[in-house]
Structure 1
Amino acid sequence: MADNMGLNAKAALEYEFFMFKETPESVRQKGYRNLEPLTPDWFGYSVLRNSVHAELYHQIMGLGESMDFPLEGIHTETGPGVIEAAIAVDDAESAADKGALFKTFMKVLAQRNNLMATFMAKWSNKYPGQSGHIHISLYDGQGNNVFFDPGQEHNISQAQRHFIAGQQQLMPEFLAMLAPTVNSYSRLIPGFWAPTEATWGVENRTTALRVIPGSNKSQRVEYRLGSADANPYLALAAALAAGLYGIKHQLEPAAEVQGNAYALQHPEHLQLPRTLWESAQRLKQSEAAREMFGNDFVEHFAATREWEEREFRKHITDWEMDRYFEII
């Protein structure tokens, strides 16, 4: 669709993932409990942790260069053994390729070092979930960033406003493509640094959409809702298609959020689905999804998400046993 509009989409993905001193055998022997992270405690952006494990970081950076997913940066995030990596920008389709390669071969590299990496949206109630943020910008045939207008506040062009509006309006309807597992919704809860409403702001990391003002080269929007467990192709397609829909239909966004979005009340229509099943129903009912992706995809993908939810419901969780076994 971008091509038909005379636009070229550029994108960059960044992922958070946890690294463990475990093997495929040990995690199964432990029943995925009492796992040992690569490093202890909450050392976000730590020079100490990065330096101690410099050889591993060099391996990761080297792998990115040799497999054509070069990294703009890599650092520890907040939590034991958690790392964040930002992949270099490229055309949208190539950016999705890079994301898929990164996720697959980061797990391969970890296991070759007798470690394990996980991109689950959330593996423990004690720590924040893992994001998969998506940066997007659009360029015309002359190489001009159509999001950049130096005559407007924060350099936000009318095209970028429409793009933001589309992403905001369709976020609840496209959520299943960005949060595709039952586990995804354990991350999207209040108080754990992940958005629960379709909000936007300028340089605001508490909103679901963050406008990053810059130059003709760097003006962009960051889709912060995405989680690490999403398929890079589907997540990027959802984020991009929603924005293009906004441009096509000249939508206008709700008011910009200033301050802590987590602490504010937001309109009902900006609330996100709370479960995978609800997300699948919103996708099936979405006229915009059918317009952008086609009926066959919407029906099939929604059905796969319903199946995933039904499979989950067949199982008894540890929480249920602890909660109900004796007292009910």
Structure 2
Amino acid sequence: MPADMPVKKSARSTKRRRTPDYVKSQRGVKDWREASEWLAWRDIEDIECITPDQAGVARGKMMPSKKFTSNTSLALPSAVFMATISGGYPEDGGGFAYPEDDGDLKLVPDLTTLSIVPWESDPTAQVICDLAHQDGRIVEFTPRNVLRRVISAYDKLGLRPVVAPEIEFYLVRKNPDPDYPLTPPVGRSGRAIGGGQGYSIAGVNEFDELIDDIYHFSEGQGLEIDTLIHEEGAGQLEINLRHGDPVELADQVFMFKRTIREAALKHEMYATFMAKPIQGQPGSAMHIHQSILNKKTGRNIFTNEDGSESDAFHHFIGGMQKHVPNALVMFAPYVNSYRRLTKAASAPVNVKWGYDNRTTAFRVPRSDPSSRRVENRIPSSDANPYLALAASLACGLIGIMNKIKPDQPASTTVNDNEIELPRGLIEAASLFEDDAELREILGDAFVTTYAAIKRAEFETFMEVISPWEREFLLLNV
């Protein structure tokens, strides 16, 4: 055959199969067939099947990918979702009863959340799971289902909530001994990080390599960061997320917390979402921006057609003013959370609202009328994102349904005034249990379980003797 004569290719060789877009997608597939192809294309060996417990901690099981796609039944003990942060369990009472059989709950993978685990050395994927009873009924007291219940209440009214969380956290030096206070990390300059770095680009640059890893890990999971800034605290950063569906955004916060912790460990630091990790430094918040759309028209119901504020906008704020104090235990879930909520600090201790007023609990940022929204500044970053979003949206919904009117907007500093929130975990748990309207929206099973857990955590905390007691009581009383 002459060298310049073209060689005929077979039909099979000329029609190479194009890789479907869903296989190349970084996050989520529609069904099990797509999941199998997605995993095979990446040579995934293991799958982490995870779900958030009441604290927002990832619980679940790991298995080989072949077993995951072979219709294997997954389950976790129901007790996992009744445990305290320290691993204990509440006592029966107040409507709560620990199940005698401690039966299994089914893990139902939500394939739209399938993504890789970028920090693992072996090819590993992860998927967030919902919880169901063995007969298929929804488990009402698990966090993801609690949020879905609130979204369903909006849906029945033809409404769709849109949210955008902002999460603050601290980078600190590794501290294996909990008896010693946390200290700021050493940055790129070789010096320990100091405070007063709000919005400082140099402050962000101190952690360039770590932040690069956060971006790379996030990109690998299909998570999108809107902005990242350095906050006022020493080694305190904030990540802002784009607005969207509440369940999807709660999933992203859940995954971001894992991601940021793993990136920090890679650089020999801890990332902590404690509300008040370092004495004398600002606390860490999880601010929540909220707007509500009409499902049929897609219009923001906070704004009238002429661009003015709607009644629904004011009623939403009124509902938050009335019910957020009763839901505080979902925004400030630990004893440490209340150390952040102090007068004359950046965290609000009031239920006031105002236009672009950061001393109020409920701030209305400057925006176009179509983007009108309400920012809830009370939640701390230690809150379970599913529960914080559920509580905030539930309070606003009660206001819309009951047409609760807010007071006048505050135009001055209001965080030096009287504290209008519960001052501790036990008081907050009691107010939570007694709010019948919140109980109706969130579900009786969740309210009784969650309140019981918080009471048990408080009793565990009361067993610990603090340095303050040794300093001021040891030789003086």
Give the TM-score normalised by structure 1. 0.92
Matched to 1:35, the amino acid is: T
1:215 deviation in Å? 2.6
Structure 2 CA distance for aligned equivalents of residues 244 and 180 of structure 1: 22
Matched to 1:4, the amino acid is: K
Partner-residue secondary structure (3-state), 1:133: strand
Structure 2 CA distance for aligned equivalents of residues 15 and 302 of structure 1: 25
| Residue 265 of structure 2: aligned partner | 111
**1:67 equivalent in alignment to 2:67:** no
Partner-residue secondary structure (3-state), 2:211: helix
**1:229 equivalent in alignment to 2:372:** no
**1:245 equivalent in alignment to 2:398:** yes
> Quick one: percent identity of the two aligned structures?
35
**1:296 equivalent in alignment to 2:457:** no
CA deviation vs aligned residue, 1:204-257 (integer Å, no higher than 9, x gap) = 111000112423542111000010000000000000011011111111112211
Structure 1 CA distance for aligned equivalents of residues 397 and 214 of structure 2: 34
**1:20 equivalent in alignment to 2:172:** yes
Structure 1 gaps of 5+ residues are none
Query: Which residue, out of 154, 161, 164, partners 1:9?
Result: 161
| Residue 339 of structure 2: aligned partner | 186
Q: Is the 8 A contact 1:19 1:117 kept in 2?
A: yes
Q: Is the 8 A contact 2:351 2:362 kept in 1?
A: yes
Matched to 1:48, the amino acid is: A
**1:320 equivalent in alignment to 2:465:** no
Relative distance call for 1:29 and 1:186 in structure 2 (3 A) is: closer
| Residue 147 of structure 1: aligned partner | 302
Relative distance call for 1:59 and 1:149 in structure 2 (3 A) is: farther
Structure 2 CA distance for aligned equivalents of residues 274 and 221 of structure 1: 24
Matched to 1:295, the amino acid is: D
| Residue 132 of structure 1: aligned partner | 286
| Residue 35 of structure 1: aligned partner | 183
Give the TM-score normalised by structure 2. 0.64
Relative distance call for 1:41 and 1:197 in structure 2 (3 A) is: closer
Relative distance call for 1:19 and 1:258 in structure 2 (3 A) is: same
Matched to 1:148, the amino acid is: T
Partner-residue secondary structure (3-state), 1:11: strand
1:121 deviation in Å? 0.4
Relative distance call for 1:94 and 1:34 in structure 2 (3 A) is: closer
1:203 deviation in Å? 0.9
Q: Is the 8 A contact 2:318 2:405 kept in 1?
A: yes
Relative distance call for 1:150 and 1:52 in structure 2 (3 A) is: farther
Relative distance call for 1:101 and 1:32 in structure 2 (3 A) is: farther
Structure 2 CA distance for aligned equivalents of residues 196 and 284 of structure 1: 21
CA deviation vs aligned residue, 1:16-35 (integer Å, no higher than 9, x gap) = 1110232xxxx124733253
CA deviation vs aligned residue, 1:28-83 (integer Å, no higher than 9, x gap) = 24733253434223211112122343332222223333323311110111021110
| Residue 364 of structure 2: aligned partner | 211
Q: Is the 8 A contact 2:361 2:377 kept in 1?
A: yes
Partner-residue secondary structure (3-state), 1:83: strand
Structure 1 CA distance for aligned equivalents of residues 304 and 199 of structure 2: 33
Of structures 1 and 2, the one scoring higher in RCO (CA 8 A, sep 6+) is 1
Partner-residue secondary structure (3-state), 1:3: helix
Partner-residue secondary structure (3-state), 1:261: coil
Structure 1 CA distance for aligned equivalents of residues 370 and 220 of structure 2: 26
Matched to 1:100, the amino acid is: F
| Residue 230 of structure 2: aligned partner | 76
Structure 2 CA distance for aligned equivalents of residues 289 and 218 of structure 1: 27
More helix by share: 1
Instruction: Say how many residue pairs are matched.
Output: 318
Point out the more displaced range, 164-173 or 51-60: 51-60
Relative distance call for 1:107 and 1:311 in structure 2 (3 A) is: same
CA deviation vs aligned residue, 1:79-121 (integer Å, no higher than 9, x gap) = 2111011011111111111111111221111112211100000
Aligned residues: CA RMSD: 1.7
Q: Is the 8 A contact 1:69 1:87 kept in 2?
A: no
Q: Is the 8 A contact 2:343 2:416 kept in 1?
A: no
Q: Is the 8 A contact 1:13 1:133 kept in 2?
A: yes
**1:166 equivalent in alignment to 2:323:** no
Structure 2 CA distance for aligned equivalents of residues 109 and 56 of structure 1: 6
Q: Is the 8 A contact 2:350 2:418 kept in 1?
A: no
**1:305 equivalent in alignment to 2:454:** yes
Partner-residue secondary structure (3-state), 2:214: helix
Q: Is the 8 A contact 1:148 1:215 kept in 2?
A: no
Partner-residue secondary structure (3-state), 2:291: strand
Partner-residue secondary structure (3-state), 1:139: strand
| Residue 189 of structure 2: aligned partner | none
Matched to 1:305, the amino acid is: K
Matches within 5 A, 1:280-295: 280-295=429-444
